[in-house]
Amino acid sequence: MKSINLMPAETARALRWVLTDVDDTMTRDGKLVSEAYATLCELAASGLRVIAVTGRSAGWGEIHLQEWPIVAAITENGAVSYYRKGSAVYALPHPTALPNATPALQRAREAALRAVPRARMASDNRFRLYDLAIDHAEYVVPPLSPAEVAIIVEAFERENCVAKPSSIHVNCWMGAFNKREAALALLRETEGYDDARDRSRVLYVGDAPNDEVMFSYFPNACAVANIEKWISDIKDLPSWVASRGYGEGFAEIGQRVLAARRSQQD
């Protein structure tokens, strides 16, 4: 990974879309960093199309879309996306997403909580439609160890479920979707995106293993500095990394892009 300051100005100027994770990418200790949100607003005001891509619940995504200057929100690691068309909000569920009450997910949930007693169901599960989230670091103090997180992942994989750790949760689902598949479907459906032409015009910012599919696909993917704690768990790393972590790192990345765009106008 190279410093975000080494991203060529011409690369930054060519961007059309900014896709970003939320937890521990725009937040710190569960709170939205003001510097990150201000930068998000600046990116949108500059003409970039900003999309939140999160493991958080469908309910949270609808709120982000209503309150933030974004054009869409991809939620539950790609299970369902929300986008604006005129004054209306539309949902775009992934065709393979199965409801989170499926027996296999419930069996795996029970097995995971038995095997790791300190684990808890994430506080936003009541707003989820398709996935389940196990809290390993949001309200669990001290956070679960990497070995305990691995036990949770294995419990779901034994039931043929997908399980991917974020910085705070283990997100678990049934269906052939992820952040990348949902992002591509949304961009094609709503943004006139052509992958052969536009892949290098997408900036993605993330911090955790559930972002790896984005890091491996988009050549201008970035990470905030706290990705360091997950380096041994991520095979495909992003091209660029901020010197700062959490929301401050998102702001650093966004300001690099904005500075390049401003210099083009001078």
Q: Quick one: tokens of 209?
A: 């293993």
> 201: Cβ–Cβ under 8 A, 6 or more apart, which residues?
14, 15, 16, 17
Residue in the structure block whose two tokens are 């999160």: 54
Among 128, 145, 173, the domain boundary falls at 173
Among 173, 190, 225, the domain boundary falls at 173
Do 222 and 236 lie in a common domain? yes
Do 225 and 209 lie in a common domain? yes
Q: Quick one: tokens of 216?
A: 């491996």
Do 227 and 207 lie in a common domain? yes
Do 147 and 256 lie in a common domain? no
Into how many domains does the chain fold?
2
Q: What is the CATH number of the domain that holds 116?
A: 3.90.1070.10
**Dihedrals phi, psi of 84, to nearest 5 degrees:** -95, 145
- What is residue 265's predicted lDDT score, i.e. its pLDDT? 66
Among 173, 201, 226, the domain boundary falls at 173
Say what the pTM is. Answer: 0.94
DSSP state of 145: P
- What is residue 266's predicted lDDT score, i.e. its pLDDT? 56
Q: What is the CATH number of the domain that holds 233?
A: 3.40.50.1000
Q: Quick one: tokens of 177?
A: 């979707």
Range of the domain at 113: 103-173
DSSP state of 160: T
Kindly list the averaged pLDDT for each block of 10 residues, start to end, along the chain of length 266.
94 97 96 98 98 96 95 97 91 94 96 98 96 97 96 98 95 95 97 98 96 97 96 94 98 97 77
